[in-house]
Chain A
């Protein structure tokens, strides 16, 4: 269970944060932060991301 957020592609729009059912994502000045204790690798954020900056490996 892992994920990667491509910082070069992320526009920090927060769309992923809006749909995360676990509340595991936060938008910070530097990018999106993942709380690994809360993340269940459901992949919804990856489906939401308008630019394909998130990759979740189940």
Chain B
């Protein structure tokens, strides 16, 4: 049962919360991981894609098959004029079943010694002498006060807890995409092993539409858009209607929506007795909007920093600030570069994108989206005098 005293209380059992919790338990600390929803991983706010590289780096490639809806061996990327570029190879990623994956992550934390409890909503934080010293949580209509040396907010994009603590995590409209998605069945997929991505100002202003397969005729069909007049749902519905080749006989089996942070990384993610991780800290890849890997990497780093701080009996902002430095060294600086690239893409017109699609290869795209080899894009852009202006933004 839930006790009233822990070393660390973590709010939110997504990938960031579970990763932090597991690391802390491995370091011998007493940890509670609280999830407000009655089911961990539900509802998903995610396209569910995960690269094999991340799966290997973070989970040693030991993600159980039950968490994987589909193996992916490439992608088909469509320019606005319909011109497509195919990236293919061996298995290089997965489309997950988040409701199983997230629960597995929480169970892994639990096996490491974390106390996990669903349907337990943290309603407030307890602060004393400018230190966060615990939370107030609601379980079955009863309010509990739970004391902790450190509280971790892993409560998703709305980042309620950080705000209560006094950290400004409000994201600017320009740095957040509006996301909408249907899980659909009975679709005519081009290739169930390939992700399909569709670009164009008309179909998805400042974003893209995705089809992420989850089996023979099932897929997440979603959109992320920003700074536009109509809603994400409007654009997706219109596109689905205009693409009977995929969706003529398709059904909707799930509806998802959410805000996708694509920028606004936080320089400071800690306060006295407090830290923030995952979507709540905007730790998302700004070019594709993927956050599972970022939250998991950050959670591991944060777990170690908190364990070190508690061992020294000092959980002040200064003692927790190595999390800022370590995370920025490992991920932040790279994500900033990717954000810059995203800002360049925002400026590319449909006409330019059509042109680029004729001179770029699948491998180029793969390198770019991971934040590597930025120079290769510059080279491609420079080949075409009309695109030189864009190349300048990258240099």
Contacts and interface: CB of A to CB of B under 8 A. Distances in A.
Contacts of A18: 157-159, 170-171, 176, 259, 261
B172 A19 contact: yes
B259 A19 contact: yes
Interface string B221-259: 000000000011110000000000000000000011111
A11 B255 contact: yes
B233 A48 contact: no
Given A48-B178, A49-B178, A11 B157 contact: no
A21 B174 CA distance: 13
Nearest to B234: A52
Contacts of B180: 50-51
- Majority secondary structure of chain B interface residues (helix, strand, loop or mixed): mixed
B178 A50 contact: yes
A7 B364 CA distance: 45
A53 to B, nearest CB: 9
Interface residues of B, number: 26
A19 B158 CA distance: 8
A15 B160 contact: no
A49 B231 contact: yes
Given A11-B257, A15-B257, A17-B160, 9 more contacts: A13-B45, A14-B258, A17-B158, A18-B259, A20-B170, A23-B163, A48-B178, A49-B178, A51-B232
Contacts of B178: 15, 48-50
B171 A51 contact: no
Contacts of A27: 158, 160
A17 B161 CA distance: 12
A41 interface: no
A42 to B, nearest CB: 10
A42 B309 CA distance: 41
Given A48-B176, A49-B178, A19 B257 contact: no
B394 interface: no
A19 B171 contact: yes
A23 B165 CA distance: 12
A11 B181 CA distance: 11
Contacts of B15: none
Interface in A3-57: 11, 13-21, 23, 26-27, 44, 47-52
Interface string B259-271: 1010000000000
